[in-house]
Chain A
Amino acid sequence: MQQTLLLSAILLFAMTRVLAGEIRVAVASNFTGPAREIARRFETKSADRVILIFGSTGRHYAQIRHGAPFDLFFAADSERPRRLEQQGLALPGSRFTYALGRLVLWSPRAGLVDARGEVLAQGDFHFLALANPRFAPYGKAAEQVLRRRGLWEGLQGRLVRGENIGQTFHFVTSGNAELGFVAYSQIHTPDGTIGGSWWKVPQSLYDPIEQQAVLLKEGEAPRAFLDYAGSDEARAIIRGFGYATP
């Protein structure tokens, strides 16, 4: 009798594993920290396994267009999810903003960046790093800030462009660019803020960096994850990592 019970329990358990889904989520690299935490919490509540694929939004977009097997797409901007929806590659109505990026001007050197960003006008640096404004959302935001301050033209020769916010960050941490426009989430984690000096750029100076997610394939498990990502619990996690939520 006990053996039968044990066997049934094992079989049942095995079945739930087999029946349990794998959710493939393409995630923007800059969202790595919060995504991992959210996935972990989700897995404690559900039998489904979450597989996170990190990368640049541009690359993910191109791959999805060519049939990549993702269930969900967490982009760094709103442009790409919108296009996918238009092209019929994403399920309509599933698109929502899961996080708002916050732009910060940061230097690892204490005292370089003042709390009002005057250092930009003073120009006491060789290079200023930003993400490429042509396609990176944080870069677009940085350009907006510089233009609003009337500094865009004058700083042209000193702007170094990273392919993505991650590379931009590296330019600054390596010291080659004394300061740069990076994501607040890069300098602030649930464990605290890293050293240096920074200016938290007022939201009024740039269009919101809306990071949107979209469902690519219908399914109970993916929908569950998407819903969870928009839940209060998840939003708290996200804010803890330095993002804002709508």
Chain B
Amino acid sequence: MILTPQDLDAFRISLALAALTTLILLLLGTPLAWWLTRSRWRFKFLLEAVLALPLVLPPTVLGFYLLIALGPHGPIGGLMTALGARPLAFTFSGLVIGSVIYSLPFVVQPLQNAFRAIGQRPLEVAATLRASPLDRFLSVALPLARPGFLTASVLGFAHTLGEFGMVLMVGGNIPGSTQVASIAIYDHVEALEYSQAHWLSGGLLLLSFLMLLAVYAFNRRFTAVQP
């Protein structure tokens, strides 16, 4: 095979980044989406607009501002240096933060839609059957929102896997820690190493497709066929 160990590393980092980002977003995004669905706060629309920003923001813009924010003069970087911690730019953790911000709406919106589609009734029913609010959420809302979780996971994962502009700005392209597959492919092209670019791209495509296949097949087994 033409792929070098560095290429395989890039693969691994991309997958790890996508998986970790998706996981974090599901954990953060679920309560957030739930609150957004149920809240009657007058200024909710402001928050929703802010959360949707990454949908329209060019990734390079996000990366640009993130780099500044993480830098020693920026709000996050400054805080971290004050606390004596290492800076986050050019680290995998920095990429995770950037990816979480960038893929947030791709996870939160499908979840929000799924929760909204449930409506009031099943939750009221559960309340009359002795279920506390948390219980209702876990035993009724989550199961009924399963299709939303599927969509959110797939979108979040795919979106992070394909990230380029943001990672370019914030990652520093360090092989073994921040060089993701999309950047590695780009570099191969820049260095006129076309066959390696082919292999890496093809491999990424195949792997992504297999993962999607697995997820949808798994979901099919657990979904009753609705008339």
- Note whether A and B contact each other (Cβ less than 8 A): yes
- A residues within 8 Å of B by Cβ? 56, 58, 62, 126-127, 129, 132, 134-135, 157, 159-163, 167, 170-171, 174-177
Which of chain A's residues have a CB closer than 8 A to the CB of B72? 175-176
Q: How many Å from the CB of A238 to the closest CB on chain B?
A: 26
Binds A, one of B18-26, B110-118, B166-174: B166-174
Which of chain A's residues have a CB closer than 8 A to the CB of B172? 127, 129, 160-162, 171, 176-177
Q: How many Å from the CB of A168 to the closest CB on chain B?
A: 10
Which of chain B's residues have a CB closer than 8 A to the CB of A167? 168-169
Which of chain B's residues have a CB closer than 8 A to the CB of A163? 168, 173, 186-187, 190
A126 touches B86 (CB 8 A): yes
The CA-CA distance from A58 to B187 in the complex, in Å, is 10
Q: How many Å from the CB of B49 to the closest CB on chain A?
A: 28
- Residue of B77, B90, B187 near A135 (CB, 8 A) is B187
Nearest-neighbor residue (CB-CB) of B178 within chain A: A160
Which of chain A's residues have a CB closer than 8 A to the CB of B186? 163
Which of chain A's residues have a CB closer than 8 A to the CB of B169? 167
Q: How many Å from the CB of A66 to the closest CB on chain B?
A: 13
B191 touches A161 (CB 8 A): no
B174 touches A157 (CB 8 A): yes
Q: How many Å from the CB of A13 to the closest CB on chain B?
A: 44
Which of chain A's residues have a CB closer than 8 A to the CB of B67? 170-171, 174, 176
State the main secondary structure of chain B at its contact with A. Answer: loop
- Residue of B86, B174, B190 near A58 (CB, 8 A) is B190
Nearest-neighbor residue (CB-CB) of B173 within chain A: A161
B residues 7-45 near A (Cβ < 8 Å) are: none
Give 10 pairs: A residue, B residue, CB < 8 Å, sorted on A.
Answer: A134-B187, A134-B190, A134-B191, A159-B174, A160-B172, A161-B173, A162-B172, A162-B173, A163-B190, A175-B73
Most buried by B among A129, A160, A176: A176
B173 touches A132 (CB 8 A): yes
Given contacts A132-B190, A135-B191, A163-B190, contact A176 B174 (CB under 8 A): no
A176 touches B173 (CB 8 A): no
The yes or no answer to B203 lying at the interface (CB within 8 A) is: no
- Residue of A62, A134, A174 near B71 (CB, 8 A) is A174
The yes or no answer to B155 lying at the interface (CB within 8 A) is: no
Which of chain B's residues have a CB closer than 8 A to the CB of A170? 67
B187 touches A126 (CB 8 A): no
Q: How many Å from the CB of B195 to the closest CB on chain A?
A: 15
The yes or no answer to B89 lying at the interface (CB within 8 A) is: yes
